[in-house]
Amino acid sequence: MNAAELLADLAVSLGADAAGWAPAQVPAGAVAEYASWLAAGRHAGMGYLERQLPARADPASRLPGAGSVLVLGVSHAFADPSPPPGGVRVGRVARYAWTPDYHEQLQPVLTRLEAEAARLGVRARGYVDHGPVMERLYAAGAFLGWRGKSGMTVSTRLGAFVTLAVLLTDLPFEGAAPAHPDRCGRCFRCGVACPTGAIGDDRTIDARRCVSYLTIEHRGPLPHELRPGVGDWLFGCDVCSEVCPWSQKAGPLARRLRPDPELAHPDLAAFFGVSERGFERRFAGTAFLRPRRKGMARNALTVLGNTRAPQGWPLLLAGAADPAWEVREAAAWALGQWGEVGQVRPLLDDPHPAVRETASRVLTGSS
C-alpha cells in the first residue's frame, strides 16, 4: 500500500465518511469565475475572500511543491434531537452548528494525518474550511461529489450535508482526474425553495441575500426587505440542502459528529441580559460565537418578529432595552410585527439613528 492509500485509509478510520485524492491544481477558468463573482460584489461583506484570491488560485503558496490534495467529506446529516425542556426554544439552526465547532473537532484528524504524512516522508498541511483553498473544486476532482445548483458540494451517497476538509501534500498526483459528473439533472428545487432568492442560475450564491450570510457574517441590522425571508432561521439556513433529493435519499447518517440538543434548539433567553463575556463562556467552542451575542439576539428578535411566538414576548421587551443598538433596532422591528406600536414609540428617542429610523418606519407603517 503506497502513501496515498495509507493516508486515505487513515482518514476514513479517523471518522471521515469519504476520502479521495485530487490534483493540487486550480484551473484558470475556475479562478476567472471566482474573480467574476467577487467583482459582482456577491461576497457581500466578506472582504477576506477577495484578499485571499491569490492564495486560493495557487496551492503552492500554502504548501510549496503541492502536488495532490486528500479531500475528506464528513457528514453532518443529523437526525433532529428532541428540544430540551423549558426556555424559549423558537427558531431553527443550520445542522452543521448542532455540534460543537466542527473546526475544532476535525483539526485533530488533520493533525494526525499531517504527522502520519511526515512519518511517510510526505510534506502536508491541512485545512478545515478556514484556509484559502478551494475545497469544493478539489472535492469534485477527488470524485467525492459535484457542485450542485445550490453551489454546495452534493454527493450521491452523503447528500448535501457535507463538511469538507483538505490535506495539501507534495505527493505527485498519479493518473487522470475526471471531475465527478453532474447529477442535478433538470432539478432546481434548491433555487425555487430559497426563501430570499439568493441562488442564481449559474451555481453561485449571492451572499447579500443569503440567510446563512445574513444571520452569521452580516454585521448590523438585517435589510428590511429580507427579514420576512429569514423566517424562523436563527442561525444559518439549510433549505437548499434539505430539499435536495440526494439529501433526502441519504437520510441521517452522520458518524463522527454528534448533535447537541442545546445547540440544535437553543434557549433564546440565553442571548439577553448577559454580557458578551458571559455569552462567550456559555457558548465557547460553538459556531454561535461567530455572530457574537448581539448578533444572536438580533437574529432571535427577527425570528420572533416573523413567528410571533407568544413565549418570546419578554425577550422583545428585553431587546428594546438592550445595551447594543443593533438589538434595539431589531426589537423595534419585531414589536412592529406584533402590532405593539406603543412599545415602539419610546424608541423614537433612542440615541442611535438606526433605531430611531426603524421605530419611525414602524410607526408610519413603512416597515
pLDDT tens for residues 319-363?
999 999 999 999 999 999 999 999 999 999 999 999 999 999 999
Alpha carbon 241 to chain centroid distance? 12
pLDDT tops 70 at residue 177: no
Weakest-pLDDT range from 60-64, 179-183, 256-260, 292-296:
179-183
What is the model's pTM? 0.95
Average pLDDT of 245-273?
A: 96
Q: What angle do CA 315, 320, 326 make, to 5 degrees?
A: 100
User: What's the chain's average pLDDT?
Assistant: 95
Cell of 354: 438606526
> 20-29 burial, b if ≥16 CB within 10 A, otherwise e?
bbbbbbbeee
Structure confidence by residue, pLDDT tens digits, 72-85: 999 999 999 999 99
- Note if 129 is an active site residue: yes
Average pLDDT of 257-268?
A: 97
- Across the chain, which distance is largest between two alpha carbons, in Å? 73
pLDDT at 367: 72
Average pLDDT of 283-309?
A: 98
Comparing C-alpha atoms, which of 189, 246, 247, 240 is closest to residue 211?
A: 240
pLDDT at 180: 87
pLDDT at 100: 95
Q: How far apart are the first and last CA of the chain?
A: 65
Strand order in the sheet with 18-23: 18-23, 68-75, 162-169, 124-127
Catalytic residue among 9, 58, 80, 129: 129
